Amino acid sequence: MNKLLLFLFFYLPFVLQFSSQNNDPIVENTELRKVRFGLYAQGSLCWLTPEQQKIYSRGNFGLGYGWGLDVEINFNPTTTLRTGINFSTFKAGINYYDEDLDAIHKTYYLLNDEENFIPWGDETPPDGELYHLLYRKYTVNYVNIPIVLKLKTSEIGYFTYYGEFGGSIGLKTGALVDDRIIPFNYSSDSLVPIIDRSYILEDIDISKGTQPVRFGLNLGAGAEYSLSGTTALFFQLNWNYFVTNQLTKESNEEFLRKQVSTSFERVGIKALPGNIVLSFGILF
């Protein structure tokens, strides 16, 4: 898989340029606008990959969505710089307690009466209710700015085919989680389950438990269908690999603690997000 991605990154531009020079188009749009604008909607398949895979495991895939505005700067008929702004929702989960793993530990947190997370120092928790976290589904909203090089063929029939690669920066605007938990009563170093089954707590604000910025690499391919002049419908499929941890680092973790003997220690979990995005839109 890695060799295939490297091949696409380094050789796709040359293949597309060769194709644009050697294909005899049936219909070619000779008008070249220096700047084009576009609107699009997108759906995505999302996942989170924990780095400590002996302790945590990847949870369910999630379905994200979004929309955006494209700005394309054409250098020539086959080479374009694509940027703009888009708004997206990322959804994916992590198993915090997976009995099939070798080095699992129990993770706990505290909530107040409004179901907001309570910051937890390094000391033992106060007597009362603790929540054992089994599974967490993240819903994180971003404003994204892509910077992508788009390499196109000449128009073949009514279609123009292209590949693209580049990067993106995302700024978080909000984050919620749905948690599957078991409530425990903590008293004098003892933990007693309040009920013998798990249940789900929904839409808890986790803005302080997720990173404010993410950086990603982007690889994609698609096609434009010419309508008239420079107006075209387009669709494309992109793979995004984000190189930054989505969750807060251990030193800044305020809420989650793991049980070690009779004490509780900070939880440090690193998880890299990724997604595959399908987009449909129109260019003017």
Q: How many helices (H) and strands (E) does the chain have?
A: 1, 13
What is the radius of gyration, based on Cα positions, of the chain? 24
Identify whether 238 is part of a domain: no
Please, how many CA atoms are within 13 Å of residue 55, restricted to the half-sphere of its CB?
12
Domain-located, residue 34? yes
**Residue 151 belongs to some domain of the structure:** yes
Q: How far apart are CA 208 and CA 72, in angstroms?
A: 35
The answer to the question of residue 135 being in a domain is yes
Query: What CA–CA distances, in Å, run from 81 to 51, 61, 180, 227?
Result: 34, 31, 44, 22
In a domain, 119, yes or no: yes
Structure tokens of 251? 């030193």
Instruction: List CB contacts of 82: < 8 A, sequence separation 6 or more.
Output: 70, 71, 72, 73, 146, 147, 148, 149, 150, 164, 166
Count of structural domains within the chain: 1
Residue 214 maps to a domain: yes
Q: Structure pTM?
A: 0.86
Bridge partners (DSSP) of residue 163 are 151, 221
CB half-sphere exposure, 1, CA atoms < 13 A? 1
Q: What is the pLDDT, as a whole number, of residue 31?
A: 66
Where in the sequence is the domain holding 179, given as residue range(s)? 2-233+243-283
In this prediction, residue 40 carries a pLDDT of 98
Alpha helices by DSSP H, the chain: 2-22
A 10 A CB-CB count for 250 gives: 13
pLDDT at 260: 83
Which pLDDT does position 5 carry in this prediction? Answer: 42
The segments of the chain whose pLDDT lies below 70 read: 1-31
Whether 81 maps to a domain, the answer reads: yes
pLDDT of residue 189: 73
Q: What is the dihedral of CA 111, 114, 119, 122, to 10 degrees?
A: -30
Asked, for residue 196, whether it belongs to a domain, the answer is yes
